[in-house]
Amino acid sequence: MEQPPIVEADEQVTSRLPPLNKWDLQKGEARQYSLTNDRRPIVLIEDELQMQRFLSVMLQSLGHDLIEAATGQDGLAQATIHNADAVLLALGLPDCDGLEVPSTIGKWS
């Protein structure tokens, strides 16, 4: 079996992904992907750009429909609007404690 190439620490690794500034979500914005089928999406609530980018690429590569939000309030709104199947969120968000989000969703159930 062929071994993957080893990348030295000083080598430049290029990516086909857009620069991070294109992934920056402002308050009130959400990004959604491939909501053309009957599946309910996953809502990703993450304010750190690198983590948001990593999780977004990973989830999409696994075939999940995805909606991104950068704040807890925006994520709650998107989860409600799209009847999300799951919510993946950071614990430290700019507008609330990430632990408040599941308890708010639980109150709606």
Q: Tokens 């909501």 label which residue?
A: 35
User: Has this prediction a pTM greater than 0.85?
Assistant: no
Contacts with 29 (C-beta within 8 Å, 6 or more apart), sequence order: 69, 70, 74
The residue type of 19 is P
Domain boundaries, the chain: 45-91
Report helix, strand or coil for 42.
strand
pLDDT band per the 50, 70, 90 thresholds, residue 4:
very low
Least trusted range by pLDDT, from 7-16, 68-77, 93-102: 7-16
pLDDT digits (tens, 9 = 90+) for 43-95: 999 999 999 999 999 999 988 899 999 999 999 999 988 888 899 999 999 89
